[in-house]
Structure formats: structure tokens, C-alpha cells
Amino acid sequence: TRVKENLRNMVDRADRVSFSVEAMVRGYHTYKDIWAAVLGEELLCQRETGNRVDTFAVAVIRDGTVVGHVPKKISSVCSLYLRRGGSIVCRVTGSRRYSEDLVQGGLEIPCVLIFEGGAKHTAKAQKLIESALDVTASVALKDTTNLVY
């Protein structure tokens, strides 16, 4: 049975694939007193089931402490991906900056989200993330085309 278990674990690992997407750690203005972001630092992402503002919230975690959140426009996909056994790692890629796309403003940290999991769920998550980001980009582009100079 031990051989079967080892074989099953090797097959499970072989089925795992990954992709990455550029994103932001939101809410840095709230957590800057407990976290100084370091370029290249890798943090875990975890579902935040008790969040009353966003039922699909995904927290960015450092040493067991929440230090930010995945952007809301992709949080539902991230939350479901984590729920289905995938993992998401957040790698810091830049310095803090003011949010460019949030009306309320705030500080955010540029990052890359690295998704890893089973091939089927990972491919589906990648399509949904790309779709959510494309829709957001096209809406922003559409809004700027109506400006009169």
C-alpha cells in the first residue's frame, strides 16, 4: 500500500500545472505599520471566509498575519480556485504606490500571483482571470474614448 500511496502522490504532482498574472496587493495603507514589503518576497494567499465586505475575499498572508488582499475584480475566481485545492502565491514585484483604478484611492503593492493546481481547475481559473482582466481593461479603455479634448 505504501508503494501505491507514493505512486498516487507522484501522479498528483505530475497533474499540477501553474500560471501567473500581474496584480496588486490591495489595502497596503491599512497594513503598512505591520508589513514592509520586500521585493521578491513570497506570501501565501488564503480565503478569508469571515470578511463581511467581500464574501469571496482572498487575504495575502505573511507569517500568519493578513497584510493585504487580492483585488476584488478577481477575488471570486481566486477564492473558488483555493476552495478546489489550488494554491496561490503572491510575489512582490515593486514598491508601494497609490491606486490608479480605485475611486477611494489607497496604497497597493505590485505583485505577481502564481496559481498552481490540478490541470483542469488551473486552466479554467486562467481563462476566468484573463476574462475578468480583459473586461476591466476594455471598460477603462471605453470610458477614456468618450473624453472630449
* Tens-digit pLDDT string for the chain (149 aa): 555 454 444 445 557 899 999 999 998 888 888 888 999 999 999 999 999 988 999 999 999 999 999 999 999 999 999 999 999 999 999 988 787 766 666 789 999 999 999 999 999 999 999 888 775 443 333 334 444 43
| Angle separating helix axes 72-83 and 119-145, nearest 10 degrees | 170
Distance of alpha carbon 27 from alpha carbon 66, whole angstroms: 10
Q: How far is CA 32 from the centre of its chain?
A: 19
pTM assigned to the model: 0.78
- Mean of the per-residue pLDDT values of the chain: 81
Give the C-alpha separation, 58 to 47, whole Å: 4
49-87 pLDDT, tens per residue?
999 988 999 999 999 999 999 999 999 999 999 999 999
